[in-house]
Amino acid sequence: MYRVISAMTNAALPDGGDIERPTVVVVDDDVSVRESLELLIVSAGWRPLLFDSAQSFLATHLASAPCCLVLDVNMPGLNGLDLQTMINMGGNRMPIIFVSGFGDVPMTVKALKGGALDFLTKPIDTMALLEAIRSALARSEEMLRNDEELRRLQRSYETLTKREREVMIRVVKGLLNKQVAFELDISEITVKAHRGQVMRKMDARTLPELVNMAATLRLGETVETG
């Protein structure tokens, strides 16, 4: 058992049940720790989600909202480092903050190499934990925005015809209209028409913006600004 070094604020506890609020997931087999962290998380305005084991966490589906994981290392059954590996293998990029009362250098290095945002030792410094959670939630929010932007671009790209895609790939690689026309064996006027449609459908205002979109979509191994 360990204690949380207190630096709690006097902020009023927000109403619960709002799944749109940033969520801080705690996985720790110590009930007293979960209860202490729950109060801390709620006081900071976040939504706590508590689990007593890695197995119970894996059985739960999380809503699409900014979230992070405060994860104990030493737990019976599946430990924290094993859970991190499973999360990574599943493609989940949830930021992880490790906490441990028995941390050592090799353990810390393994956690950080696995993508953990931070590794805190017990007893937990509350201010350090709050700062780590803020950073983790900010990263999660950024990843969600990027994922949504990628989905938007994919939807737009799917509206392009085969010829428009051919023109787009060549334009973002820096080819001039006449070069695109030569490669595709079409007129330069036709290239300009397709290019205009590409810009409209992709909602790109400038060529550099279209290039960035193509890079995000990974269209071609080399995308040049020309």
What is the average per-residue pLDDT within 101-120?
Answer: 84
- Give whole-number Cα distances, 86 to 35, 57, 78, 93, 188, in Å: 26, 12, 10, 11, 52
What whole-number distance in Å separates Cα of residue 155 and Cα of residue 216? 13
The three-state secondary structure class of 128 is helix
Confidence at 18, pLDDT banded by 50, 70, 90: low
Contacts for 220-223 with beta carbons within 8 Å, 24 or more apart? 220/169, 220/172, 220/173, 222/173, 223/172, 223/173
Average pLDDT over residues 195-204: 97
pLDDT of residue 1: 35
Q: Tell me what pLDDT residue 90 has.
A: 84
Tell whether the model's pLDDT for residue 15 goes beyond 80: no
Looking at the predicted structure, is the pLDDT value of residue 104 above 80?
no
CATH number 3.40.50.620 given to 4-148: no
Band (91; pLDDT cuts 50, 70, 90): confident
Adjacent-strand bridge partners of 185: none
Whether residue 203 is predicted with pLDDT greater than 70 in this model: the reply is yes
* pLDDT at position 57: 93
> Do 4-148 and 159-216 come out as alike in CATH topology?
no
Residue range 193-202: mean pLDDT, rounded: 97
pLDDT tens digits, residue range 125-182?
999 999 999 999 999 999 999 999 999 999 999 999 999 999 999 999 999 999 999 9
pLDDT of residue 222: 43
Q: Could you confirm whether domain 159-216 is CATH 3.10.105.10?
A: no
Domain limits of the chain? 4-148, 159-216
- Provide the pLDDT confidence category of residue 41 given band limits of 50, 70 and 90: very high
* Count of CB atoms situated within 10 Å of the CB of 196: 12
